[in-house]
Amino acid sequence: MSNLLGHYNYWIVIVLMMTGFYIVIARPNLIKKVIGLFIFQTSVFILFISMAKIEGGSAPIIEEGISVYSNPLPHVLILTAIVVSLATTALGLALIVRIREAYGTTNEDEIHVQDEQD
């Protein structure tokens, strides 16, 4: 039981991660792939933040009368990771817009077919 509760966060995170992974590899639509990537990224964020949590701890903003704080280091890492995830999402979507203009579709299978015809 303690094993289940102790690892619940990690397991759900892995399920989420695999959901995102599945969308990325199984769905031909490029926008859907970006969304899958987004889910994957967010689940990694949750993994790190779960590791930072200390039972009974409080947010790492120093205040009188609080002695236990959660670990601030993963927070810093993830804060920057979120910003990078936005950068990758924006670039990916911009590429999709250009691909759509060049091929007339956002479907990966159709793009492959067109590439083979050339």
Q: Any contact of residue 103 with other proteins (CB under 8 A)? A: no
Q: State in angstroms the smallest separation of the CB of 118 from other proteins.
A: 20
Task: Return the residues of window 61-100 that contact other proteins according to CB under 8 A.
Answer: 61-63, 68-76, 78-80, 82-91, 93-98, 100
d(CA 18, CA 26): 11
Q: How many residues belong to the site for other proteins (CB under 8 A)? A: 81
Q: Any contact of residue 54 with other proteins (CB under 8 A)? A: yes
Q: Any contact of residue 25 with other proteins (CB under 8 A)? A: yes
For residue 13 the two structure tokens come to 């995170």
Comparison of 92 and 118: residue with beta carbon closer to other proteins: 92
d(CA 30, CA 25): 10
Q: Any contact of residue 35 with other proteins (CB under 8 A)? A: yes
> In angstroms, what CA-CA distances link 76 with 69, 71, 72, 89, 91?
14, 10, 6, 20, 23
Q: Any contact of residue 114 with other proteins (CB under 8 A)? A: no
Q: Any contact of residue 16 with other proteins (CB under 8 A)? A: yes
Q: State in angstroms the smallest separation of the CB of 76 from other proteins.
A: 5
Give Cα 65 distance to the centre of its chain: 36
Q: Are 15 and 91 in contact (CB under 8 A)?
A: no
